[in-house]
C-alpha cells in the first residue's frame, strides 16, 4: 500500500487574539503546528493592515518553529531585509506586486531564506513559468487576500493541479501551500490537487480546541 501523504499545517495568526499573540503562538506550537503563518498587510496592496517586522521579532522569542511570512505589501523590496532580520524563515512576495519579482526572489535567497511566491485568484499559473527555478514555496491564494474567514474558491483547484505539474517538472522539491478558506471540508480538494501545506486561520484559531482542530485538518488533508 502506498504511504499516506500528510500535509504541513501552518496556523495563520490573523485569526488569533492580537492582545495575547505570544501565548497564541505558543498554544498552536504546543498543539501540533508545523509552521506559523504571519500575514503582513499594508492597506495598499490589500485593503487591510496588520503588523510589521517588530511583531515578528517579538514573536520570534516564543518559538523556534519556521515563520512563514506572507508579504501583502507593495512595494515589498525595501522591507525584505527587515523581515529577514526580524526572524522570517520563509518570505513570500506576490507575483502581482512587482515586475522585478525575479530579482526579489534572488535577494530573498541571498539572505539565506526560503523564497515564496504567492499568487492571487485572478492570476493564471503560467505567470510563474519563468521564476520557478528561484522558488522554494508556492502559496496559492484560495481567497482574495486581505481578510480571514472567507469562503474557499473552488475555481482555484485546477490552478493548484497545474502548479503541482509545473513544480514537479522542475525536478526540484517545491512546496505548494494553499491559503484561504481551508477547513476540514475543503482541505482534501486542495491536497488531492497537489498542495502539501495548508494555511488555516479561522478553522484553527476560531475553534475552542486548537489541538483537535489541527489534527482534524491534518487528517482531512491526508492523501494517498
Ligand X SMILES: O=C(CO)[C@H](O)[C@H](O)COP(=O)(O)O
Q: Among 56, 93, 53, 51, which Cα is nearest to 71's?
A: 93
According to the annotation, is 147 in a ligand binding site?
Answer: yes
Ligand-binding site membership of 149 (annotated) = yes
**How many CA within 13 A on the CB side of residue 50?**
28
CA–CA dist 144, 121 (Å, integer)? 6
Residue 12 assigned as binding residue: yes
Residue 179 annotated as catalytic: yes
31 assigned binding-site residue: no
DSSP string, 159-201: HHHHHHHHHHHTTS--EEEEESS-STTTHHHHHHHT--EEEES
Question: Rule CB under 6 A: is residue 39 a binding residue for ligand X?
Answer: yes
Q: Smallest distance from the beta carbon of 107 to ligand X, in angstroms?
A: 22
Which parts of 105-144 interact with ligand X (CB under 6 A)?
A: 143
Q: How far is the CB of 183 from ligand X (least distance, A)?
A: 7
Q: Which stretch binds ligand X (CB under 6 A): 16-24, 100-108, 147-155, 184-192?
A: 147-155
Binding mask 151-190 for ligand X (x = CB under 6 A): ----------------------------xxxx--------
Helices 53-60/21-30 angle, 10° precision: 50
Nearest to 201 by CA among 216, 213, 185: 213
- The yes or no reply on residue 146 touching ligand X (CB under 6 A) is yes
Nearest CB to ligand X, comparing residues 80 and 198: 198
- Which stretch, 20-28, 91-99, 100-108, 200-208, contacts ligand X (CB under 6 A)? 200-208
Q: Which of 34, 42, 68, 179 is catalytic?
A: 179
Instruction: Tell me which stretch binds ligand X (CB under 6 A): 24-32, 107-115, 158-166, 201-209.
Output: 201-209
Q: What residues form the annotated binding site for substrate?
A: 12, 70, 146-149, 179-181, 201-202
Binding site members? 12, 37, 39, 70, 146-149, 179-181, 201-202
Instruction: Name the site residues for ligand X (rule: CB under 6 A).
Output: 12, 14-15, 37, 39, 70, 143, 145-150, 179-182, 199-203
Amino acid at each position: 500500500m502506498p504511504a499516506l501523504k500528510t500535509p504541513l499545517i501552518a496556523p495563520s495568526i490573523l485569526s488569533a487574539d492580537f492582545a495575547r499573540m505570544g501565548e497564541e503562538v505558543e498554544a498552536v506550537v504546543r498543539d501540533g503546528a508545523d509552521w506559523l503563518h504571519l500575514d503582513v498587510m499594508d492597506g495598499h496592496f490589500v485593503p487591510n493592515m496588520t503588523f510589521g517586522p517588530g511583531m515578528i521579532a517579538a514573536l520570534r522569542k516564543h518559538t523556534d518553529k519556521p515563520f512563514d511570512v506572507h508579504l501583502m505589501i507593495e512595494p515589498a523590496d525595501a522591507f525584505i531585509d527587515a523581515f529577514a532580520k526580524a526572524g522570517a524563515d520563509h518570505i513570500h512576495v506576490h507575483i502581482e506586486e512587482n515586475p522585478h519579482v525575479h530579482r526579489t526572489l534572488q535577494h530573498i535567497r541571498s539572505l539565506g531564506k526560503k523564497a515564496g511566491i504567492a499568487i492571487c485568484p485572478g492570476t493564471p499559473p503560467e505567470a510563474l513559468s519563468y521564476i520557478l527555478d528561484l522558488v522554494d514555496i508556492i502559496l496559492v491564494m484560495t481567497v482574495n487576500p486581505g481578510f480571514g474567514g472567507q469562503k474557499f474558491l473552488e475555481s482555484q483547484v485546477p490552478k493548484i493541479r497545474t502548479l503541482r505539474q509545473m513544480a514537479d517538472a522542475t525536478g526540484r522539491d517545491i512546496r505548494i501551500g494553499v491559503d484561504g478558506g481551508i477547513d476540514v471540508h475543503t482541505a482534501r480538494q486542495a491536497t488531492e490537487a497537489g498542495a502539501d501545506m495548508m494555511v488555516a486561520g479561522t478553522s484553527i484559531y476560531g475553534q475552542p480546541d486548537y489541538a483537535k482542530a489541527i489534527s482534524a485538518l491534518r487528517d482531512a488533508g491526508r492523501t494517498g
